[in-house]
Structure 1
Amino acid sequence: MSNSNQYSEGKRIAFVLFDRFSMIAFSSVIEPLRLANRLLGSEYYVWSTYSIDGNPVCASNGVSVGADYSISDLGDADVTLLCSGIDVERLPLSAELGKRLRKLNAMGRTYGAVCTGAYLLARYNLLDGRRCTIHWENLRSLAEEFPDIEVSQDIFTIDRNCITSAGGMAALDMMLRLIAIQHGAALAHDIAEVSLYQNIRTGESVQRHDAEARTGIANIKILDAVRIMDLHIEDPLSCQQLALTVNLSPRQLERLFRRHFNCTPGQYYLRLRLETARDLLRRTGRPVLDVAIACGFASTSHFTKCYRERYGCTPTEERRTYQWGAVPEPVQDMAQPAVI
């Protein structure tokens, strides 16, 4: 924990760490604060770490990080950030943490999350009426499970007193933005330069590499077809419709897919839909029928048949391996002043 005789004049940051949190995201939010203090020549930012019970927390990379306090000690920090990582959906909810977060919100304090932490905020009913983001692997499942929340694909969002980051290096961009708000862009750029970070990104930057970088394919027609498939998971298009949208004949489109993916467009499309379904089964508690419909299947029986052929188990069997924590009762959203 960082100490300072200027404690009351600076900003107090609370980091709440959860089991298997993302170390890269945590480092990316805490290191800019350390560097800001170094360049300012004062301990303007003071931070503490918290865990549910005050015990050390193991990150997803196996490194254990000590907690300064338990959440029962969580006070009125200027900024409180939840740091989580993989399997966030399986984390049990803490009524005590939910109560303290709602109190911070009511006090006008800034709160938020990095990496997958937005999912926890959603379960605590702290994202209602707000725009947020989350790591791209969790985007679709968060939007499906919480349809009233505006889920963005941006690398970070700032909506009044709620801040969220998609994790990884995006957390660094978010913190540099907050530091710039406090001390000006020059300090943020100095921190980036010391960190050997070349280009500070805006929140609106995209999370994922484009389809060409992900697939290693440069053919524009096939890349357009893949993008269109991804946009039409719930309402899948026919091969003829796909071919029409990319100005090819169905036969030409099939030849391209066989050459690049060794399968037909229909087989590739089905694989995308089943991958989405598997993600929703693992990350949400939605009924199997709802998952089937969200992935473009007209019936549970057809969905189950395709799923078993692809993964060797039924959707219900897939779901059985996951335990779901209780979701807290809805609460009234509170006031929302500007962030730090």
Structure 2
Amino acid sequence: MHPIHVSVFLCNAFSNMVLACLLEPLRVVRDQTGADIRWNILTDGDRTVISSSGLSVSPEMPMVDAPEPDLVIIIGGDAFRDTKGMTAARSLGQLMRGATVIAADTGAWVLARGGFLNARNATLHWQLLEEFAEKFPEVEVLPDRHVQDGRFWTCGSAAAAFDLMLQFIRDQFGASVAFDAGAMFLHDNARRHGASYPDQALSQALSPKLKRVIVLMSEALETTQSVLALAEQAHISERSLRRLFWAELQTTPGRYYLLLRLARARELLRYSDLSLDQIALRCGFASSTTLTRSLRKNFVSDPLQDRRENL
């Protein structure tokens, strides 16, 4: 996987919630998989902007100095009707050239004002759909949660932004990585029997049987079970279980189980004082050597680096 550079463009009165819903899933993918994902913060007019809740954010650099991005995230704000947005639209044209573009909240308004959405499908915050359609008749406005038209993705609320980002991650990294990124934020605190992924909190896109198997896996990270044993507990055949994982997560049960154990190991490496041998045993590995070898095989970055840096 090649590096992904992200430029996050914030407009005045942007929503902190929308920003978090778009950026935090990428952060999880970076931390969990070792993917080379980097981002910089840019702002309208290269000046400090104030979020809708009053937080000040300054740009890391002028837009003209920003490195060429693979992904541009535009988060509009409550001041979207301000004609000064024309400046933003013009400066965005160069930044967006060739990049995938995600416009959230009122970000579609900024794009439409610059003519970037002409003859394209788009959406934005549900309260503004009618006004947007009247203002920009050359844009095909859809009431969907998020819309993709070529390299342009648009969405409205924070919840829709979160769904959109998970879809982007799914396209770039696969369904299992997207599932893990979503589960990091969607599970509740009522962990039954120590489960990392309570079945009531898993994505509704997954079948009940698959949710059940993943809960079983998360409850047995230390004493691992065979795929056959998991299938029997879920009351399906092993062959059906394998088909289920491939159909819904595009991976095998064994591979997904391994990634759950490695994710737990990485968490313990970062945030606990347990020795490597102790972590290995808690995550179902015979020794620290086996664990280290598996971590280095499955992650681009050295998963032991964080621990060494904190010593």
TM-score bracket relative to the smaller structure: 0.5 to 0.7
1:186-265 alignment to 2 at 5 Å? Answer: 186-196=176-186, 198=201, 200=203
Other-structure match for 2:165? 175
CA contact (8 A) 2:89 2:113 kept: no
Matched, 1:69 2:58: no
Other-structure match for 2:12? 19
Greater fraction of residues in helix: 2
Unpaired stretches in structure 1, ≥5 consecutive residues: 1-5, 203-340
Q: Residues 83, 10 of structure 1: CA spacing in aligned structure 2 closer, same or farther, 3 A cutoff? A: same
Task: Report the identity percentage.
Answer: 28
CA contact (8 A) 2:111 2:117 kept: yes
CA contact (8 A) 1:17 1:51 kept: yes
Other-structure match for 1:142? 132
SS in 2 for 1:111: strand
Q: Residues 86, 201 of structure 1: CA spacing in aligned structure 2 closer, same or farther, 3 A cutoff? A: farther
1:12-161 alignment to 2 at 5 Å? Answer: 12-40=5-33, 42-90=34-82, 92-95=84-87, 97-104=88-95, 107-161=97-151
Q: Residues 168, 199 of structure 1: CA spacing in aligned structure 2 closer, same or farther, 3 A cutoff? A: farther
String of CA shifts for 1:110-144, please: whole Å, max 9, x gaps: 12311011001000000012111100111110001
Q: Distance in 2 between matches of 1:88 and 1:199?
A: 35
CA contact (8 A) 1:10 1:43 kept: yes
String of CA shifts for 1:16-45, please: whole Å, max 9, x gaps: 1111001111110010011011110x2421
Q: Distance in 2 between matches of 1:55 and 1:145?
A: 27
Unpaired stretches in structure 2, ≥5 consecutive residues: 188-200, 206-311
Other-structure match for 2:224? none
CA contact (8 A) 2:120 2:149 kept: yes
- CA deviation after TM superposition for structure 1 residue 65, in Å: 2.2
- CA deviation after TM superposition for structure 1 residue 68, in Å: 0.9
For these two proteins, the number of residue pairs brought into alignment is 192
Q: Distance in 2 between matches of 1:200 and 1:166?
A: 20
- CA deviation after TM superposition for structure 1 residue 73, in Å: 2.5
Q: Residues 159, 71 of structure 1: CA spacing in aligned structure 2 closer, same or farther, 3 A cutoff? A: same
- CA deviation after TM superposition for structure 1 residue 194, in Å: 1.1
Q: Distance in 2 between matches of 1:200 and 1:122?
A: 33
With structure 1 as the length reference, what TM-score do the two structures score? Answer: 0.53
Q: Output the aligned Cα RMSD.
A: 2.1
With structure 2 as the length reference, what TM-score do the two structures score? Answer: 0.57
Other-structure match for 1:270? none
SS in 2 for 1:195: helix
SS in 2 for 1:169: helix
Structure with the bigger RCO (C-alpha within 8 Å, sep 6+) is 1
SS in 1 for 2:9: strand
- CA deviation after TM superposition for structure 1 residue 91, in Å: 5.0
